[in-house]
Structure 1
Amino acid sequence: MGIEKIGCPLEQARSLSWETITATCGLSQAEIAAAATIIGTSKAVVFGWAMGITQHTNGNVSTNHL
């Protein structure tokens, strides 16, 4: 998939209503604004993302054992 098929993430984000955003992510607009303020005023920010136990090759077996 080329970048032309993905489009501009900023344009996509701007096209969403706050109702859609808050319903999708489970946070209120105030919580999102507070996080944005913290990020925007921070000297540095680190974002981490992990696939988690369910995305592992043996994820279904592992989750069954939990």
Structure 2
Amino acid sequence: MRGRKGPRYLIDAMKRALSEHREVELYWSLHFALAMAQQTLRDTGWLADCRNANAASMTWRGLLLGS
């Protein structure tokens, strides 16, 4: 598994955990989960802040912990 990246890796992991679901359902679940994450980042203003000169100081830790 080392070196695997992208949605296929996530779908494979989801298939192992949720074997009762069809692959197409897993892809749609991943699609909506990623869309919700993107919407959350956009609504917080974090994505817009990344375009500013201070973007280098922005980190995931700062986003998640508000620091």
TM-score (norm 2): 0.33
For CA contacts below 8 A with separation 6 or more, give which structure has more relative contact order.
2
Higher Rg: 1
Structure with more of its chain in helix, by fraction: 2
TM-score, L = length of structure 1: 0.34
